[in-house]
Amino acid sequence: HSCSCSRITPTPLGEGKSTLVGLVQALTAHKRCNSIACLRQPSQGPTFGIKGGAAGGGYSQVIPMEDFNLHLTGDIHAVTAANNLLAAQLDARIFHEATQTDQALYERLVPAVKGSRKFAPIQLRRLKRLGIEKTDPYALTPDEIRRFARLNIDPHNVVWTRVLDVNDRYLRKITIGLSPTEKNLTRDTSFAISVSSEIMAILALATGLEDMKQRLAKMVVAFDKTGAPVTADDLGVTGSMMVLLKDAIEPTLMQTLEGTPVLVHAGPFANIAHGCSSIVADDIGMKLAGKRGYVVTEAGFGSDIGMEKFFNIKCRASGKVPNAVVLVTTVRALKMHGGGPIVTAGAPLRREYMSENLDLLEKGVPNLLKHIENGLKYGVPVVVAINAHGTDTAAEHELVRKAAKAAGAFEALVSNHWAKGGEGAAELAQAVIDACNRPSEFKLLYEVDMSIEDKIIRIAKEMYGAGTIELNSKVRDAIRLYTEKGFGKLPICMAKTSMSLTGDPSVKGAPKDFKLVINDICLSAGAGFIVPMCGEISKMPGLPTRPSIFDIDLNTETGEIEGLF
Amino acid sequence: HSCSCSRITPTPLGEGKSTLVGLVQALTAHKRCNSIACLRQPSQGPTFGIKGGAAGGGYSQVIPMEDFNLHLTGDIHAVTAANNLLAAQLDARIFHEATQTDQALYERLVPAVKGSRKFAPIQLRRLKRLGIEKTDPYALTPDEIRRFARLNIDPHNVVWTRVLDVNDRYLRKITIGLSPTEKNLTRDTSFAISVSSEIMAILALATGLEDMKQRLAKMVVAFDKTGAPVTADDLGVTGSMMVLLKDAIEPTLMQTLEGTPVLVHAGPFANIAHGCSSIVADDIGMKLAGKRGYVVTEAGFGSDIGMEKFFNIKCRASGKVPNAVVLVTTVRALKMHGGGPIVTAGAPLRREYMSENLDLLEKGVPNLLKHIENGLKYGVPVVVAINAHGTDTAAEHELVRKAAKAAGAFEALVSNHWAKGGEGAAELAQAVIDACNRPSEFKLLYEVDMSIEDKIIRIAKEMYGAGTIELNSKVRDAIRLYTEKGFGKLPICMAKTSMSLTGDPSVKGAPKDFKLVINDICLSAGAGFIVPMCGEISKMPGLPTRPSIFDIDLNTETGEIEGLF
């Protein structure tokens, strides 16, 4: 069986990952089922920012948390290396094309080795795409030589960016090529955080080595001066990226505090990519757990973001469907959605969150109900897990339970995994087992045959509750171009704040009929989706005045890490 | 025993690493001595450029070469991460200082956690450096608050740069901070290749965790508006860098084709850093090999670069001295130094290099003799290894042997390790054993108490054969500043082309009394050296029109890497 784990709209108060960990602990140790958790690897950037670790908490954690939150086995570094090799080759190619004649370029691209010229296999693939069915480098006409050797990249239409796994705000927008050696071929570009790289999304979506290779090859990195897409394969980088990623495609086996296996793999950004753990890890997990076992896989953030993309992108790619959805909520987070005061890191928590307040809670419940409604639209049972805090009251828990059940949740229960580990999530585990035994009536939200715009509208109305969708003219032009170039039938990967059902992170609760503005759009042809942007989505976080950097240290006597939470 | 391995001035024809590998193979398998090779980890940048692998060649290689030339255990990625975390924090700090009052800045740097403010240990260290002997955050005067909270970094005098392990020429000079979120606080800077990071030099020079921490803390990343140095510790990043580097300080155990252990560790650039494998690896190697065993450690490039820095920087830091120096030469390389034609990659090799030419060879021998002379200046026996090629003739070998012996080499022998593995280097191994049994009369080239300028002059005259040294006014000013700020007694790490004894890579042979121009200088306070630059030293290579990227691929059926040499 498999089960995906999402949550309500996140707040600074929420904990999602610990529930997933607690659940597999309960399934394994208390329900005697083979079970495996599949988690994303967290970015190292936020570890040194304000976020702290992402290994869960209390008695429901992945260990060792230091490795989990740092390099681990280097997969993110491999993604960074592959991404930036492609970027370096892209700019180097623009430079070499700008400074050489067609013939000189061709003779260098297909060099005489011991007197004889030969195309590399990746060059033969490019010839094929150009419709040139020749394999002898001496047989090309001057026109064919020009078409083969000149990618003719439009420097103003390069869409590939460099990445680093660090919160470095000064790299959000940069000018490159300012050294005299680059002969004034400067260009504006940016660095994003590594986990936002399309390569990370591919790592999570690839079903195997060959599929990964096909996807990497297809990545559109720029458009040429005629508007035609230029791919990673055109730049000759597919094989080198594969070599850099050959170990990254293997998930890393870790464990929970109670010894339940955890497969950690890939970590696509949930707000701009699809935010799920990998297909490869889920496949391995399902094989290892067996038919009667359970795999619980992460579908990051709320149902509007994590779950929607989990179904419409990941399940569509893998062909596999979960038996149940777990939806995590907390009383505190619902109070915040009900209008509770803003929470500031470091400041003492306000009274509203520390004592019973049924009015505020009731006002916040609609956010939970919208997420339940969203889950049910896929025909899969939704189990609501109320992640308990010490200051919650029984009446508060009961209010949430009743509302969830009335809205169609298969079950809604309090889970005490933070305080008690697997034992605290035993009832939740039983509910998940029961839900997984129910026959599924799974359906996707949209067919890929629909137009790009219709797919966006479907998601925005059905999942977010939007009334109208506004696309600016730049977005409309891009949609026209993508459709014309054959990318119209890709699924949609919305880039929207995870902090609200709307495009505005400050709007809590479950608003209805709001306007959603799509102000930018981009293409991830290799990952296989179109990314509409709702509002400003930063792909590069920054460091605050006092990042957690100040607290982190290595004890040189013991070799132990200190101050990393 | 220990032995360092350098070579004559490199040419595109030289092979240095295979001799080192062949030598340990011979010591182990044919001389029955415990022996261990200590090699640098190569940068991944050149692997995808034109250089190809760096694992040796023929029957004298480190295996598996794919891992050796790619991520290996991620040490270079860890250096990149630490380097760039420091850079991100530096620019973020400039930003936060520019946009906040003293009091706001202070309150954020020392936040009230549950109502109470407390300095982090790293902040107490900064207070101490400022001469403020207080530990209570509420006790600082407004002036002390200002001095503590404002690093006051001069954006035009930031010396720390970002790094990436890729040949990306467009990053040689960039403008950062162009996003509106950075409020026009733009700045010109650059990316260098990761192995040129001062952190890589520290990894190679640290004698242990605590020494590494002290060195990282001391790194000068910028100067403030009064000209005072600002360190990594002032930015609060020391502990976080230590955590990122905690596994990188462990060498990686690999092996040669014949099973001899190889410790691979660190990889400081030889032309701008000190170019040697690590002190930690040598120490482990010597402990494992035992008193009667042999450690052969890499001192990259020619004696002017690799060996000089090996002695005056690495041996000075470690307190350990080698028993012998192995100096590698080839007949072909000497012919090139004698005025042989330029060699172009891919083109068939010219006749001069393929058949006997004693005249040309004799004209090139002075380059070898200069390197022998250099080695002898340290009072250590120099064993010359003539790395044999199939087209060399016996007369050519004899000419080189005789000249080397006449110049004072302890021994000079032909080595056939490329074709025959350890067996081919058995005579060389015996010569090294004999040399190591000779009592050593080791002396360094200069004392650190000499002025920076005098140390530069000593190296240039004694090691390169320079007649005069020219320092421009910028360099003189910097030397004055470094001396005034207490950095005058550091050893010197010359940044000079490795391709010539002079500062001009096109000048071959062994010229005398030339003028050496020092046109820039920088400080590596953590690594513990001053870096004078002779000519343009690029810290960021570029990709050629047809990089080896095109040939490298992963076979998705077998999982094997193809096209990586």
Span B295-320, mean pLDDT? 93
Q: What is the C-alpha to C-alpha distance for residues A249 and A265, in angstroms, rounded to an integer?
A: 8
- Please name the helix (run of DSSP H) or strand (run of DSSP E) that holds residue A430, with its range, or none: helix A426-436
Contacts B70 to A, Cβ<8 Å: 243-244
A547 has pLDDT over 60: yes
Residue B237's SS3 state is coil
Cβ–Cβ of A78/B91 closer than 8 Å?
A: no
Cβ–Cβ of A237/B549 closer than 8 Å?
A: yes
The region of weakest confidence among B102-116, B164-178, B355-369 is B102-116
A503-526, pLDDT tens digit by residue?
999 999 999 999 999 999 999 999
Taking a C-beta distance cutoff of 8 angstroms, is the pair B304, B433 a contact? no
Interface of B with A in 94-133 (CB under 8 A): 95-96, 100, 105, 108-115, 120-123
Quote the pLDDT of residue B10. Answer: 79
Quote the pLDDT of residue A13. Answer: 62
Quote the pLDDT of residue B57. Answer: 85
Taking a C-beta distance cutoff of 8 angstroms, is the pair A296, A38 a contact? yes
Distance to chain A for B504, nearest Cα, Å: 18
Q: What phi and psi values does residue A212 have, to the nearest 5 degrees?
A: -60, -40
A140-166, pLDDT tens digit by residue?
999 999 999 999 999 999 999 999 999
A24 has pLDDT over 70: yes
Measure CA B431 to chain center: 28
| Burial annotation A342-364 (CB, 10 A radius, 16+ → b, else e) | ebeeeeeeeebbeeebeebbbbb
A26-79, pLDDT tens digit by residue?
999 999 999 999 999 999 998 898 865 677 888 999 999 999 999 999 999 999
pLDDT confidence band for A3 (50 / 70 / 90)? confident
| B452's tokens | 């920076």
Quote the pLDDT of residue A301. Answer: 82
| B277's tokens | 């494998």
pLDDT confidence band for B443 (50 / 70 / 90)? very high
Residue B184's SS3 state is coil
B550 interfaces chain A, CB cutoff of 8 Å? yes
Quote the pLDDT of residue B301. Answer: 82
Quote the pLDDT of residue A272. Answer: 80
Residues 6 or more apart whose CB falls under 8 angstroms from that of A180 comprise none
Percent of chain A, pLDDT > 70? 98
- Residue among A119, A184, A354, A549 with most chain B CBs within 10 A, to mutate: A549
A77-86, pLDDT tens digit by residue?
999 999 999 9
Q: Exposed, middle or buried: residue A380 (CB in 10 Å: 0-12, 13-18, 19+)?
A: buried
Span B242-249, mean pLDDT? 97
pTM of the predicted protein model: 0.96
Q: Bridge-partner residues for B57, per DSSP?
A: B60
- The more confident residue out of A93 and B564 is A93
A559 interfaces chain B, CB cutoff of 8 Å? yes
Contacts A344 to B, Cβ<8 Å: none
Quote the pLDDT of residue B507. Answer: 93
| B283's tokens | 């120490």
Span A190-200, mean pLDDT? 97
- The more confident residue out of B490 and A46 is B490
A214 has pLDDT over 70: yes
B243 has pLDDT over 60: yes
| B451's tokens | 């002025």
Residue B9's SS3 state is coil
A547 interfaces chain B, CB cutoff of 8 Å? yes
A171-193, pLDDT tens digit by residue?
999 999 999 999 999 999 999 99
Q: Which of B240, B237, B231, B242 is nearest to B130 (CA)?
A: B231
User: Which residue among B121, B243, B564 places its CB closest to the CB of A243?
Assistant: B564
Distance to chain A for B470, nearest Cα, Å: 24
pLDDT confidence band for A373 (50 / 70 / 90)? very high
Span A107-123, mean pLDDT? 93
Q: What is the 3-state secondary structure (H, E, C) of A272-336?
A: CCCCECCHHHHHHHHHHHCCCCEEEEEEEEEHHHHHHHHHHHHHHHHCCCCCEEEEEECHHHHHH
Mean pLDDT of chain B: 94
| A247's tokens | 């170990």
- Please name the helix (run of DSSP H) or strand (run of DSSP E) that holds residue A131, with its range, or none: none
Q: What is the C-alpha to C-alpha distance for residues A412 and A410, in angstroms, rounded to an integer?
A: 7
B439 has pLDDT over 90: no
DSSP A154-206: EEEEE---EEESS--GGGSSEEE--SGGGTT--EEE-EEEGGGSHHHHHHHH-
Domains and CATH numbers, chain A: 2-73+250-437 (3.40.50.300), 79-199+211-229 (3.30.1510.10), 452-534 (3.10.410.10)
| A174's tokens | 């940069």
Quote the pLDDT of residue B36. Answer: 97
B434 has pLDDT over 90: yes
Mean pLDDT of chain A: 94
pLDDT confidence band for B440 (50 / 70 / 90)? confident
Span B70-79, mean pLDDT? 96
| Burial annotation A52-64 (CB, 10 A radius, 16+ → b, else e) | bbbbbbbbbbbbe
Q: What phi and psi values does residue B231 have, to the nearest 5 degrees?
A: -105, 165
Q: What is the C-alpha to C-alpha distance for residues A436 and B428, in angstroms, rounded to an integer?
A: 71
Quote the pLDDT of residue A53. Answer: 63
Packed helices B394-406 and B358-376: angle between N→C axes, nearest 10 degrees: 30
DSSP A504-542: -TT--S---SEEEEEEEEEEETTTTEEEEEES---SS--
DSSP B105-172: HHHHHS-EETTEE---HHHHHHHHHTT-----GGG--HHHHHHHH---EEEEEE---EEESS--GGGS
